[in-house]
């Protein structure tokens, strides 16, 4: 029984189903969470699960453990997105949220995310406290979830309905529906699938059915996983926006009217522009270490403070709880904005872009040109290198020791090491190296003025790192 070392990574505990992600281990993590809640005087939790395999089994297991410890559980019987749970925590004034999800990981994984009372990721120090009290063995057989209904410890709720009502109050949906906008939406078989169907029934839909296998593909909304969406837009001239979300719908992928991928850096810049120029909001800007320095430029133009954090949305969320933040975002597609919960939300960000298009009467490519007019054009890409652990460690050691002095014959002007290593060749050209916090890969990021230069920089980077 038990004895698997359970570690929370960049965002929650994730493991392969039936290998380490088992009913017993879910019981162990939940018991630690319940005991920690009791120590803190907390008594209510919201539980949700996404479209992954075993969602009902694992979430009901967690619910039973919480009830066993006398903690009141708000539970949704249907799959939900991570932001729906976070919003539910806020609306129900619960003490904690639990999401059974492995987000964008491959379909063989499931996971366990913790959400705090403010409606965002639980801060790292609290997660460390939970991790420290995970028991060696799991609780024995527990009564089924229905037994706790009679005791009033389980209350069934509809988080998706709650979320849709919140969306209706947050956006001018009529303006979006009556605009020139024609949407194609790819749910990647994830938990966002029904919301868009309900809000925009006439949109074009891809992978919007329940399929825990995700057809074998990791539900991460990056271009290499979204070729069908891109092709759909290219072959249908009337479609002028493509939106995709990951497995638990907290990340965004975006395509313009030409079927060209619009990455998170561009989305962050678009949203910052919209929040200032149209919404007339202000506040601090937070970006993680791998985000384009064009955000620093745009923030400076608007005279806004900008802070750079380590990679992981939890670092952004922690600042959002203490300061007046306008927008916070990371390269991987997780973005939060003022006026919503302190949480990444891929659907909410998509709706903001749609509202921006509707209010401006412009195509997405034209909106991007507005950004380029302010900060200059740029491109970005990332490679994930699957390496032996020893090779990964030796590359990181080289970076640490300052051995990377040039890349592709170009001198490294300066290096930053907030989280991984970022090598600047000129102001607009940089290469970054960082081991993933969620998968056994080394991530290599490149930023330059056009796609060819980005590809060249990545190739040169691989050669320099492996030399």
Instruction: Identify whether the C-beta of residue 159 lies closer than 8 Å to the C-beta of residue 36.
Output: no
398 and 356 part of one domain: no
Query: Is 59 inside any structural domain?
Result: yes
- Give the chain's domain count: 3
420 and 352 part of one domain: no
In this predicted model, what pLDDT tens digit does every residue of 291-331 receive, in sequence order?
999 999 999 999 999 999 998 888 899 899 999 999 999 99
256 and 399 part of one domain: no
Distance between CA atoms of residues 257 and 240, nearest Å: 4
Provide DSSP, 62-73.
Answer: HHHHHHHTT-EE
Q: Which of 357, 375, 393 is the last residue of a domain?
A: 375
Query: Is 320 inside any structural domain?
Result: yes
291 and 398 part of one domain: no
Query: Is 317 inside any structural domain?
Result: yes
Determine the straight-line distance between the first and last CA of the chain, rounded to whole angstroms. Answer: 45
Structure tokens at 355: 């509202």
In this predicted model, what pLDDT tens digit does every residue of 432-444 receive, in sequence order?
999 887 677 899 9
In this predicted model, what pLDDT tens digit does every residue of 189-220 receive, in sequence order?
999 999 999 999 999 999 999 999 999 999 99
Domain containing residue 396: CATH number: 3.30.310.50
190 and 330 part of one domain: yes
In this predicted model, what pLDDT tens digit does every residue of 64-123 receive, in sequence order?
999 999 999 999 999 999 999 999 999 999 999 999 999 999 999 999 999 999 999 998
Provide DSSP, 36-97.
Answer: HHHHTT--EEEEEE-SSTTHHHHHHHHHHHHHHTT-EEEE-SS---HHHHHHHHHHTT-SEE
Q: Which of 159, 182, 214 is the last residue of a domain?
A: 159
State the chain's mean pLDDT as an integer.
95
Name every residue whose Cβ is closer than 8 Å to that of residue 83 and which is 6 or more positions away in sequence. 163, 249, 250, 341, 343, 344, 345, 346, 347, 348
57 and 147 part of one domain: yes
**How many C-beta neighbours within 10 Å does residue 455 have?**
15
In this predicted model, what pLDDT tens digit does every residue of 138-158 receive, in sequence order?
998 999 888 999 999 999 999
Query: Is 6 inside any structural domain?
Result: no
Domain containing residue 355: CATH number: 3.40.120.10
In this predicted model, what pLDDT tens digit does every residue of 49-59 receive, in sequence order?
999 999 999 99
Range of the domain at 37: 13-159
326 and 349 part of one domain: yes
321 and 363 part of one domain: yes
Query: Residue 1: is its pLDDT beyond 60?
Result: no
436 and 352 part of one domain: no
Please give the pLDDT value at position 342. Answer: 94
Instruction: Identify whether the C-beta of residue 134 lies closer than 8 Å to the C-beta of residue 35.
Output: no
Query: Is 166 inside any structural domain?
Result: no
Query: Is 243 inside any structural domain?
Result: yes
371 and 393 part of one domain: no
Query: Is 366 inside any structural domain?
Result: yes
Please give the pLDDT value at position 433. Answer: 97
Q: Which of 321, 347, 375 is the last residue of a domain?
A: 375
Distance between CA atoms of residues 383 and 201, nearest Å: 36
202 and 324 part of one domain: yes
| pTM of the predicted protein model | 0.93
Query: Is 164 inside any structural domain?
Result: no
User: Residue 233: which of 181, 191, 188 has the closest Cα?
Assistant: 181
401 and 357 part of one domain: no
């Amino acid at each position: 029984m038990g004895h698997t070392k359970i570690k929370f990574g960049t965002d929650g505990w994730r493991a392969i189903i039936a290998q380490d992600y088992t009913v017993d281990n879910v019981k162990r993590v939940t018991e630690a969470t319940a005991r920690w809640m009791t120590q803190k005087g907390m008594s209510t939790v919201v539980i949700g699960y996404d479209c992954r395999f075993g969602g009902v089994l694992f979430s009901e297991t967690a619910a039973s453990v919480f009830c066993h410890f006398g903690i009141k559980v708000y539970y949704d019987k249907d799959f939900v997105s991570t932001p729906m749970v976070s919003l539910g925590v806020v609306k129900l004034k619960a003490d904690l949220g639990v999401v059974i999800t492995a987000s964008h990981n491959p379909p063989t994984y499931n996971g366990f995310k913790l959400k705090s009372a403010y409606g965002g990721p639980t801060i790292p120090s609290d997660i460390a406290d939970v991790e420290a009290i995970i028991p060696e063995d799991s609780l024995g057989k527990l009564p089924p979830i229905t037994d706790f209904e009679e005791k009033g410890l389980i209350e069934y709720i509809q988080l998706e309905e709650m979320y849709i009502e919140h969306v209706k109050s947050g956006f001018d949906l009529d303006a979006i529906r009556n605009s020139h906008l024609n949407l194609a939406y790819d749910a990647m078989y994830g938990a966002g699938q029904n919301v868009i169907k309900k809000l925009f029934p006439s949109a074009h839909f891809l992978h919007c059915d329940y399929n825990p296998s995700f057809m074998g593909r990791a539900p991460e909304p990056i271009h290499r996983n979204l070729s069908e969406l891109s092709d759909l837009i290219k072959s249908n001239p009337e479609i002028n926006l493509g939106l995709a979300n990951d497995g638990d719908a907290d990340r965004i992928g975006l395509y313009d009217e030409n079927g060209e991928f619009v990455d998170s850096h561009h989305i962050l810049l678009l949203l910052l522009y919209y929040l200032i120029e149209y919404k007339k909001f202000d506040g601090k800007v937070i970006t993680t270490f791998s985000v384009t320095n064009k955000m620093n430029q745009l923030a400076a133009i608007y005279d806004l403070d900008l802070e750079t954090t380590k990679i992981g949305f939890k670092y952004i969320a922690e600042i959002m709880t203490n300061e007046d933040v306008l927008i916070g975002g990371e390269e991987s597609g997780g973005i939060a904005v003022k006026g919503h919960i302190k949480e990444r939300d891929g659907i909410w960000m998509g709706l903001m872009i749609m509202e921006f298009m509707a209010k401006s009467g412009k195509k997405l490519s034209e909106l991007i040109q507005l950004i380029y007019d302010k900060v200059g054009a740029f491109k970005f890409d990332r490679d994930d290198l699957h390496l032996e652990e020893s090779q990964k460690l030796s590359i990181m050691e080289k970076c640490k020791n300052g051995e990377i002095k040039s890349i592709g014959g170009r001198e490294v002007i300066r290096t930053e090491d907030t989280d991984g290593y970022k090598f600047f060749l000129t102001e607009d050209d940089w290469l970054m190296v960082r081991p993933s916090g969620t998968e056994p890969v080394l991530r290599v990021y490149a930023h330059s003025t056009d796609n060819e230069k980005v590809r060249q920089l990545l190739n040169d980077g691989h050669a320099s790192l492996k030399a």
